[in-house]
Structure 1
Amino acid sequence: MITGSFISLRVGTALSTFMLSALLMAPAAPSSAGQTYSYSLPQQPYSQSRTRDYKVYVPDNITTPAPMVMALHGCKQTNNDVLNDWGLTAAADTYGFILVAPFITSYDGLRNENCWGFWFDHHRHEGAGETEDLHQIGLAVEANYAIDPNRRFITGLSSGGAMTIVAAVTHNEYWAAAAPAAGLPYGEDAGSVSLSGQCPGSANFHSVSRVISDMQSELDDSYPIPLMVLQNENDCTVLKTAADNTRDAHLKVFGTPSFDHTTAAQASSTACAPYYQNNYSCQHIRYTEDGTVGTRSVVETIYLDGPLSTPNTQDTNHGHYWVGGANGNNGKWSVKVGPSYPDIIWDFFDRHSRDGSQPEGFPVITLIGDNPMTVAINTTFTDPGATADDAEDGSVTVTADCSAVDTSTVGSYTCTYSATDSDSNTTVKDREVVVYDPNAPTETCEQATASPNAHISAGRAYAGGAYNYRTFANGDNVDIGASYDTWNSVTLYEGDPGLWYASVPTACSGGGGGGGNGGGGEPPVCQDWNDTNLNHDNAGRAYYTGGYYSTGGDDFLGSVSGVYTWVKETSEGFYEAGQCN
């Protein structure tokens, strides 16, 4: 399944504090708005063509002819996920490109929902199947909008990343540059995706020499299409081997003699920029046509040491996702925190038009420091500022207005930056400034009662243990029952937003809690645990004397340490066998 997952991805608090958490999770608003248009490409006469729906996002400040960026969704995603979660519409507003988001719409063969068929031979050759339909969508967009023929670009995630590579090979005469995220080398099979559902994953790959041969057999144009490869080194669905093989084969096929391998072609290695909140040790490496800085790249890699888990409950927590940055969302197989793919990819595209030209356009504003930026109440706010660059004018003066920021009152405020070039093209960009109270409690003290299975579905717990048969609260990792249990009720308590515990957090039971159902300073009358006798013993809920007995109640729980039993606390420090009613 590929999707944002390839072949199967899975995988009363103080109001001011709650507002801070919500604000830090909300996407930043783009500086301008555009319009999204819906189209449909009819089935074409060549083999394996199908009707394809697609959407086109056009910024209000577009200049013509405009660059075009086509973005391909992954399995179990749609083009709406691309538009809503990937941060690309905000990037289109900022950088002035037309965004095209195709939807696979329908498909043949055995595959997971909405996967692009990169592994089917009839979909990865020029003149047929899905790769040709994507080419035809590009041509249809050009019939409706003024597109710069030297600045047609394509990107995608997972199966969309693999199909991005297919497009770069089959139509390198059309596309100027390509940027696959968690993609696969050209000609790979479905077995190159890890289907184990475990981390680390396992997969089978073609040799690099075979990938090279397959690429050379397909190419009919000499244009050395630049490729940016984006990969989480901890991805358990599409493994880093896929990115390494893609890089190595591309260098061999398109690199110049003596510079067709990583040692000779590497020109620079720097930290990835920009990023949102955490860079995850991301490294940006450029491999150029002569191994020197400043010349055209053959391949660039973006490798990050990213986390496995993601905030969205529809995800698989296998480290397989698109990183949307400050303007992205925590959607299906997409995250907000990390190296900002939209900005990094656009920088790569902007440096690699087909003819090497740099057209005139709007100034690009880069904020210095965090966005959003947090400031403690009653402290001094110092604007870190911003810079602006214009393709024609170079560095441009930035005007900042932070007069609305009030550090005496908790809330969200805006700094507005503007820059105007010599052609009177003006760009505006906002920074969110969140004023918070560092002394306010962070725990929500909410509680939720449901079956272990329902807690998993709601994201309050996760499946783990042998064969994922057990359920663990996501805050303290306490076992609360069988993952398939839909009939028993277990109460969990929320500490910091999104973290749930089998026990009431200390801040919620000692009088300092918030206004949730578990707040008010009073612990619940009864709370219970389903855990091994050994863990009950270690936690003080039981003791061992020739067998396991509950602390206080002295109820016999059994003699085997690894057996799961229910223990309830009916008063502070007094435990009995069984569950709360």
Structure 2
Amino acid sequence: MRPPILRRLLRRVASATACGLLAVLGAHPAPAVAAPTAAAAAGLQQVTGFGSNPGNLQMFAYTPDGVPAGAPLVVALHGCTQSANAYYTNSGWTKYADLWGFDVVFPQTTSANNALSCFGWFDPADSTRGRGEAASVVQMVEYAKQTYGSDGRRVFVTGLSAGGGMTADLLAAYPDVFAGGSVASGLPAQCATSQAAASGCQTGPQKLTPAQWGDKVRGSHPGWTGPWPRVAIWQGTSDYTVYPANATALRDQWTDVWGIGQTPSRTESLPGNTTRSVYDDASGQPAVETFSVSGMGHGLPVSPGSGAEQCGSTAAYFLDTICSAYHTGVFWGLDRTAPGGGTGLPAPAGLKVTGVTSSSASLTWSAVTGAASYTVYRDGAKVATTASTSFTDTGLTAGTAYRYSVTAADPSGTAGAGSSAVTATTTGGAAPATCFTATNYAHVTAGRAHVSGGHAYANGSNQDMGLYNVFVTHTLRESPAGHFVIADSGCQTGSS
């Protein structure tokens, strides 16, 4: 491996070749490249001199060998009592930085800023455009663009808890900087504007309409007309530090900003008792996605292991459920298969499932002008390259759902943007159960649940389904008649 300083200098030269010297030198001198604090190449390195740093933050970066200029950049914000190193070690983002080819910046706050080392999501002096910690994070992004050659069109930010709250604030204040974000166990943008109000947001944010939540985003950068960042929202249903009502408020906030409704375009079950709800924009592309992890407490979902969709390691506030980094990265297009990933040719349109058996799935899509070949991805992993506009995937497991997307490549082999994903479910397997997917309000109205103390409880099992409202959605399985259990993962819907 090349030493980190040499790798950065070489990549800066590559960036100058690709983008022109002015893009690297700019109107201002580029920040000096700081000496790393760790010996291992491509490990977590501290960077100093990245800017005036009005928020008094520390910058750490992970820059894998072989990542070219023009690659995406992910900014990852730790939670309270955590550090950049904890997020680097446990979150799983470094696995996909190596696999998919992007850089990661890990900002770090300290007890000098906050006694619990929390980012100041609740303090306008730190959470608004051009001020404090938010401005320091943006200076880190500018440093990465100049020094690593990061693609300014593909900068993303993610964070846990207080880092999640700051993520929402950054997306609202800097939609011109961030193409997407992911808020894990976090708060809506500008939920609180003082430390005294912060605890109220955590246990139950203000009861605002979607338009009122959206106004908090629009007011963070007045005059901005878009595009808005694409936002993923991760929340455990048993989180009693940052209550699940915050995920509902976040969903309301960002769907309103996008001008779309609060009814999902589709839902699906994922590993780890996770329900994914997708809210498409006017063009049919995912704009907002929510990931509700049934039974999970306060923390970032990880899934230790070597599988393609496994990542991270368990520790305090890193909870073994599902690899959130993988699903967030696919949503952003970092795997070059989701909308927004790749460069060059446009995404193939019209991808659809034309047939399934117990062991195969057949796909077709529309031709792309100038394409020499197409690559088919199953669950984010490449499975085939073909010159045809159709493909049959074989050797699959009966009664299993698979997610497919396709990219087109030009004669040089350069891959373009990824298509929208489609899901194919093979036949066979266990017989479908009798299941009902609806809001808690609808479940109670239909006689499948009852209300006590403001929460809905499943009839028969008496399982706590969360707040009794029209925002929390669950799948209930009925067996025997009149006895309902929560089955948000692994239950095939029979009727609703």
Same fold (TM over 0.5): yes
Contact 1:59/1:92, CA 8 A, preserved across alignment: yes
Please report the RMSD computed on the Cα atoms of aligned residues, expressed in angstroms: 3.6
Superposed displacement of residue 423, structure 1? 7.5
CA 1:303–1:423: 2 relative to 1, 3 Å: farther
Q: What is the distance in 1 between the residues matched to 2:176 and 2:386?
A: 31
Give the secondary-structure state (helix, strand or coil) at the position aligned to 1:148.
coil
Contact 2:268/2:275, CA 8 A, preserved across alignment: yes
Q: What is the distance in 2 between the residues matched to 1:148 and 1:332?
A: 33
CA 1:322–1:357: 2 relative to 1, 3 Å: closer
Matched, 1:283 2:275: yes
TM-score by length of 1: 0.49
Give the secondary-structure state (helix, strand or coil) at the position aligned to 1:328.
coil
2:327 match: 344
CA 1:44–1:387: 2 relative to 1, 3 Å: closer
1:51-62 equivalent positions in 2, closer than 5 A = 51-62=56-67
Q: What is the distance in 1 between the residues matched to 2:258 and 2:413?
A: 40
- Candidates 75, 78, 93, aligned match of 1:73: 78
Give the secondary-structure state (helix, strand or coil) at the position aligned to 2:206.
coil
- Candidates 213, 216, 219, aligned match of 1:217: 219
CA 1:183–1:57: 2 relative to 1, 3 Å: same
CA 1:286–1:124: 2 relative to 1, 3 Å: same
Kindly provide the CA deviation profile for residues 539-563 of structure 1, in whole angstroms up to 9, marking residues without a partner as x: xxxxxxxxxxxxxxxxxxxxxxxxx
CA 1:112–1:195: 2 relative to 1, 3 Å: farther
Matched, 1:233 2:226: no
- 2:243 is matched by which residue type in structure 1? L
Q: What is the distance in 2 between the residues matched to 1:321 and 1:268?
A: 25
Kindly provide the CA deviation profile for residues 80-127 of structure 1, in whole angstroms up to 9, marking residues without a partner as x: 00111111111211121111101114654xx54110001111222211
Give the secondary-structure state (helix, strand or coil) at the position aligned to 2:298.
coil
Give the secondary-structure state (helix, strand or coil) at the position aligned to 2:343.
coil
1:75-474 equivalent positions in 2, closer than 5 A = 75-105=80-110, 107-108=112-113, 111-189=114-192, 190=195, 202-205=203-206, 207-208=208-209, 209-219=211-221, 220-221=223-224, 222-255=226-259, 260-263=260-263, 266-272=264-270, 275=271, 279-280=272-273, 282-290=274-282, 295-307=284-296, 319-326=297-304, 327-335=311-319, 337-350=320-333, 356=340, 358-359=342-343, 388-389=381-382
Q: What is the distance in 2 between the residues matched to 1:306 and 1:39?
A: 39
1:450 match: none
Contact 1:191/1:203, CA 8 A, preserved across alignment: no
CA 1:44–1:386: 2 relative to 1, 3 Å: closer
Give the secondary-structure state (helix, strand or coil) at the position aligned to 2:151.
strand
Kindly provide the CA deviation profile for residues 302-345 of structure 1, in whole angstroms up to 9, marking residues without a partner as x: 111034xxxxxxxxxxx11112222311222112x212111011
Kindly provide the CA deviation profile for residues 125-161 of structure 1, in whole angstroms up to 9, marking residues without a partner as x: 2111111111111001112101112211110000000
Contact 2:185/2:242, CA 8 A, preserved across alignment: yes
Higher RCO (C-alpha 8 Å, min separation 6): 1
Contact 2:155/2:180, CA 8 A, preserved across alignment: yes
Contact 1:155/1:178, CA 8 A, preserved across alignment: yes
Contact 2:213/2:253, CA 8 A, preserved across alignment: yes
CA 1:302–1:387: 2 relative to 1, 3 Å: closer
Give the secondary-structure state (helix, strand or coil) at the position aligned to 1:38.
strand
Q: What is the distance in 2 between the residues matched to 1:252 and 1:150?
A: 23
Matched, 1:36 2:37: no
CA 1:351–1:300: 2 relative to 1, 3 Å: farther
Contact 1:42/1:50, CA 8 A, preserved across alignment: no
Contact 2:333/2:339, CA 8 A, preserved across alignment: no
* Alignment coverage as a number of residue pairs: 312
Contact 1:52/1:106, CA 8 A, preserved across alignment: no
Q: Percent identity?
A: 23
Gaps spanning 5+ residues in structure 1: where?
1-32, 308-318, 361-384, 399-420, 426-581
1:477 match: none
Q: What is the distance in 2 between the residues matched to 1:117 and 1:179?
A: 17
Q: What is the distance in 1 between the residues matched to 2:199 and 2:323?
A: 26
Q: What is the distance in 2 between the residues matched to 1:391 and 1:182?
A: 37
CA 1:43–1:66: 2 relative to 1, 3 Å: closer
Give the secondary-structure state (helix, strand or coil) at the position aligned to 1:150.
coil
CA 1:105–1:194: 2 relative to 1, 3 Å: closer
Contact 2:179/2:230, CA 8 A, preserved across alignment: yes
1:499 match: none
Give the secondary-structure state (helix, strand or coil) at the position aligned to 1:186.
coil
- 2:188 is matched by which residue type in structure 1? P
TM-score by length of 2: 0.56
CA 1:105–1:41: 2 relative to 1, 3 Å: farther
Gaps spanning 5+ residues in structure 2: where?
1-40, 305-310, 345-377, 394-408, 415-496
Kindly provide the CA deviation profile for residues 441-477 of structure 1, in whole angstroms up to 9, marking residues without a partner as x: xxxxxxxxxxxxxxxxxxxxxxxxxxxxxxxxxxxxx
Kindly provide the CA deviation profile for residues 347-396 of structure 1, in whole angstroms up to 9, marking residues without a partner as x: 01117999945238xxxxxxxxxxxxxxxxxxxxxxxx998428997999
Kindly provide the CA deviation profile for residues 494-526 of structure 1, in whole angstroms up to 9, marking residues without a partner as x: xxxxxxxxxxxxxxxxxxxxxxxxxxxxxxxxx
Give the secondary-structure state (helix, strand or coil) at the position aligned to 1:149.
coil
Superposed displacement of residue 193, structure 1? 5.7
Give the secondary-structure state (helix, strand or coil) at the position aligned to 1:245.
helix
214-223 or 344-353: which moved more?
344-353
Q: What is the distance in 1 between the residues matched to 2:131 and 2:66?
A: 36
CA 1:355–1:193: 2 relative to 1, 3 Å: same
Bigger radius of gyration: 1
Kindly provide the CA deviation profile for residues 199-223 of structure 1, in whole angstroms up to 9, marking residues without a partner as x: xx84443524543222222224221
